[in-house]
Amino acid sequence: MHSTYDIEVVEVGARDGLQNEPGAAGLSAETKVEFIRLLALAGLRRIEAGSFVKPQAVPSMANSAEVAALLQAVAREFPDAVFSYLVPNLKGLVRAREVNAKEVAIFLAVSESFSQANIHAGVDEAFIAIEPVVKEALSCGMRVRGYISNVFGYTDLPFSPQKVASRSKQLHDMGCFEVSLGDTTGVGTPERVDALVGAHVDVAFPLAQLAMHFHDTFGSAIANVERAYDLGIRTFDAATGGLGGCPYANSPKGNLAMEDLIRWCEARSVRCAVQDIALLESASAYIHKALGKKDKV
């Protein structure tokens, strides 16, 4: 972490966010890269930039290689920025290598039904299949971030902090430098955050390598950030402009908005990479306009 910052913020809008935005498939690589450039200009240095999954499965990420190529100019402008790409398998990793990715992310689930629906493999099977991907990425000099989704439970799995912690440990043992715990449906509460972080402490998981990825579906994301911070978590994911929508039709909120996270930092005097929220709001306005959304800011 940058020595003068209290927390690290990881921007997920250009991947996790856009992937779940209707209309994002129509965005050109140039538009995405301009959005990412504005994010970097706002101070963000850890930015998810794309995904090397099957283009048929995720059309909005089909131009990720083109995005990566155009990002080289942005990388020259912001040499300390790290752009990360999601890879589901070895095939995806090969594509990430072709664009000289320095960081890749892998994703797994603790719920059997979610794992089957999302990646067509059971939980154990998926963890076994991902290990060679992690090893290969490490041997190519990349760092690997692991995501675990639905950490506060899913339809077939009640909230089981111990189960999540043992899976986090498995990813850490494989060589992931960081594990990000995703509250995919936004059902986390501060009490559940207590239990989840506690379970990680119990298995001696280093909290410096644990990130939290909250969704604001039910309005609890900032309360969860607050609790996680007080428990010693120092890395948080968020999406500028709150990109990412939500699986529930009755709620417009998905990923925690980076603006909300930065406002919380300002209120708590927590230092982070974004010093000027107006720059972040410019990035937000830019991408909302490109998506044809009414600007919320």
Any idea which residues carry the catalytic annotation?
A: 246
Q: Quick check: 114 and 76 in contact, CB under 8 A?
A: no
Please choose, out of 10-18, 91-99, 227-235, 269-277, the segment that lies near Mg ion by the rule CB under 5 A. Answer: 10-18
Q: Quick check: 188 and 155 in contact, CB under 8 A?
A: no
Please choose, out of 8-16, 119-127, 132-140, 155-163, the segment that lies near Mg ion by the rule CB under 5 A. Answer: 8-16
Give the DSSP H or E segment for 267: helix 258-268
Q: With respect to Mg ion, which residue has the nearer C-beta, 70 or 237?
A: 237
Please choose, out of 15-23, 75-83, 159-167, 173-181, the segment that lies near Mg ion by the rule CB under 5 A. Answer: 15-23
- CA–CA distance, 247 with 118 (Å, rounded to integer): 14
Which residues from 245-264 bind Mg ion, rule CB under 5 A? 255
Q: Which residues contact 129 (CB under 8 A, 6 or more apart)?
A: 89, 121
Q: With respect to Mg ion, which residue has the nearer C-beta, 11 or 16?
A: 16
- The sign of the CA dihedral 237, 180, 208, 131 is negative
Q: Quick check: 162 and 155 in contact, CB under 8 A?
A: no
Q: With respect to Mg ion, which residue has the nearer C-beta, 70 or 164?
A: 164
Q: With respect to Mg ion, which residue has the nearer C-beta, 70 or 150?
A: 150
Which runs of E-coded beta strand occur in 16-161? 46-51, 82-86, 103-109, 143-149
Q: What is the smallest separation between the CB atom of 219 and Mg ion, expressed in angstroms?
A: 16
Q: What is the smallest separation between the CB atom of 211 and Mg ion, expressed in angstroms?
A: 12
- CA–CA distance, 18 with 61 (Å, rounded to integer): 8
Q: Is 150 near Mg ion (CB under 5 A)?
A: no
Q: What is the smallest separation between the CB atom of 230 and Mg ion, expressed in angstroms?
A: 22
Q: What is the smallest separation between the CB atom of 75 and Mg ion, expressed in angstroms?
A: 24
Partnered with residue 103 across adjacent β-strands are: 84, 143
Q: How many residues bind Mg ion (CB under 5 A)?
A: 2
Q: Is 16 near Mg ion (CB under 5 A)?
A: yes
Which residues from 39-98 bind Mg ion, rule CB under 5 A? none
Closest listed residue to residue 231, CA positions, set 7, 35, 43: 7
Q: With respect to Mg ion, which residue has the nearer C-beta, 78 or 241?
A: 241
| Structure-block tokens of residue 83 | 């752009």
Please choose, out of 14-22, 90-98, 268-276, 283-291, the segment that lies near Mg ion by the rule CB under 5 A. Answer: 14-22
Q: Is 180 near Mg ion (CB under 5 A)?
A: no
How many Å from the N-terminal Cα to the C-terminal Cα in the chain?
A: 29
- Residues at the site binding Mg ion, with contacts judged by CB under 5 A: 16, 255
